[in-house]
Amino acid sequence: MKRLVIAVALLAATLSSVHAETTLIVGDQKGNARAVMEAAGVLKDLPYKIEWKEFAAAAPLLEALGAGAIEAGLVGDAPFTFAAAANVPVKAIGAIRQTGDGLALLVPKDSTVKSFDELKGKKIATGRGSIGHQLVLAALESRGWTPADIQLVFLAPADAKVAYSRGSVDAWSTWEPYVSQEEVLFGSRPVLTADGLTSGLSFVVATPNAIRDKHAELEDYLRRLTAARAWALNNADSYAQTWGKLMNVAPSVPLNWLQRSKVRIAPIDDGVAADEQKTIDLYLRAGLIKQKLDAQTLVDRSFNDAIGKGAGL
C-alpha cells in the first residue's frame, strides 16, 4: 500500500510538472483579455503558461490562428464568419456579450454630418469583413440601400485612423477601444451605433487542434477570463488603469469604453448560435461570403461548464 501511495504521488507530480510546462498561445486585441485578467488578479497561479500575441484587429489575429501561430483569441462575430467562410480552422468556444454603443460610425467633431443618411455617396473607412463592415451593411439594408450608395474604403485600423484624421474619408466605422479613443481624445461623434442593428456579439475562439490537445488549459483560461470580466463590471476604474498602462493610453479612454460596454462572457447557447446565423445570413445576402454556413457547426459547447464556474453559476 505504501508503494502504491508513493507511485501515485510520483505520477501526480509528473503530470503536474508536464501541465505546468504547457504553453497556451493566445491572440489579444489591444490588451483586451490580458489587461482585465491582470487587473482582476486571475493570472497569479496558472498551472500552465500563457504566451500573449498582440493584434490591432481580428483579421490578422485570425490569419495567425489559421497559420497555427496562435491557438486562441478574441474576435467579433463578423470577422469570425468571414474567416470560417474562407475555411480557416476555427471554432467559437465562448461568447462575449456587450452593449452596442462601442461599435459605431464616427465623424470628426467639425463634420457637418449629423446622421447616417447624410453619408450617401460619401467615403466610409472600415476593415473588410470586420464588425465595422458589418455595421455599415446592416445600416444599408435597414434603409433599403445597397453598397453602391456609399463608397467603402477598406483599411486596417492604423491606416483608417490616418485617412480619417486627414479628411481623406468622411467617416470611420470602427469598434472599441478606437471609438472611445476618438471620442475622448479628439471629439469625434457617433452618427450610428450597433444598437438595434447588430447583436454586438464577439467570440473567444480556438483552433480544433488546441481544443483537442489543450482542452483543460482552454477550460481554465475561459473560467479565469469569465471571472475577470465579472469582476470588471464593478471595478472599471482599476481595469482602466491597468489597460491604460499596458496600451500606453490615458485611462479616460478605457474608462469611457468600460463604463458603457458591460462586457461579459457567456456560454454558447441557442441564442448565441441564432445571432451568429443572422451575421452569416447578412454576409451571404451582401455577397461577402459565397456559401451558406450553419452556425451550429462553427461553435463548440463543451466549454460551457467552465464559463458557468467562472461566472459563479
Mean pLDDT of the chain: 91
13 and 148 together in one domain:
no
166 and 211 together in one domain:
no
84 and 55 together in one domain:
yes
57 and 177 together in one domain:
no
Residue in 96, 23, 100 with CA at minimum distance from that of residue 58: 96
Which domain-ending residue is among 193, 219, 246? Answer: 193
Backbone angles phi, psi at 307, to 5 degrees: -65, -40
- For residue 74, name the pLDDT band (cuts at 50, 70, 90): very high
C-alpha span between 113 and 199 (Å, rounded): 25
C-alpha span between 158 and 162 (Å, rounded): 7
What average pLDDT does the segment 197-218 reach?
Answer: 96
Predicted confidence at residue 9, as pLDDT, reads 37
User: Which residues are paired to 126 by β-bridges?
Assistant: 154
Which domain-ending residue is among 134, 165, 193? Answer: 193
Find the domain containing 145 and state its range: 104-193
Q: Residue 244 is part of a domain; what is its CATH number?
A: 3.40.190.10
246 and 108 together in one domain:
no
286 and 163 together in one domain:
no
Share of the chain above pLDDT 70, in %: 93
65 and 208 together in one domain:
yes
Summarised one tens digit per residue, pLDDT across range 11-59 is 334 334 444 589 999 999 988 899 999 999 999 999 999 999 999 899 9
Predicted confidence at residue 20, as pLDDT, reads 53
What stretches of the chain show up as alpha helix (H) in DSSP?
2-20, 32-40, 58-66, 77-85, 131-143, 157-166, 178-186, 208-213, 215-232, 236-247, 252-261, 270-285, 304-310
Predicted confidence at residue 5, as pLDDT, reads 33
Residue in 256, 224, 263 with CA at minimum distance from that of residue 237: 256
pLDDT over 60 (residue 157): yes
Longest dimension (CA), the chain: 83
pLDDT over 80 (residue 10): no
296 and 218 together in one domain:
yes
62 and 188 together in one domain:
no
Poorest-pLDDT segment among 8-22, 156-170, 217-231, 251-265: 8-22
109 and 189 together in one domain:
yes
Predicted confidence at residue 312, as pLDDT, reads 81
User: Which residues are paired to 53 by β-bridges?
Assistant: 27
This prediction's pTM: 0.86
Crossing angle of helices 236-247 and 252-261, rounded to 10°: 130
Predicted confidence at residue 127, as pLDDT, reads 95
Q: Which amino acid is at 61?
A: L
Which domain-ending residue is among 139, 166, 193? Answer: 193
pLDDT over 90 (residue 174): yes
Predicted confidence at residue 14, as pLDDT, reads 34
181 and 83 together in one domain:
no
Backbone angles phi, psi at 128, to 5 degrees: -60, 125
What's the grid cell of residue 37?
485578467
Residue located via cell numbers 504547457 = 22
pLDDT over 60 (residue 221): yes
C-beta of residue 275 within 8 angstroms of C-beta of residue 194:
no
Q: Which residues, in sequence order, are CB contacts of 163 under 8 Å at separation 6+?
A: 125, 153, 155, 169
Per the structure, the count of domains in the chain is 2
C-alpha span between 96 and 202 (Å, rounded): 5
227 and 295 together in one domain:
yes
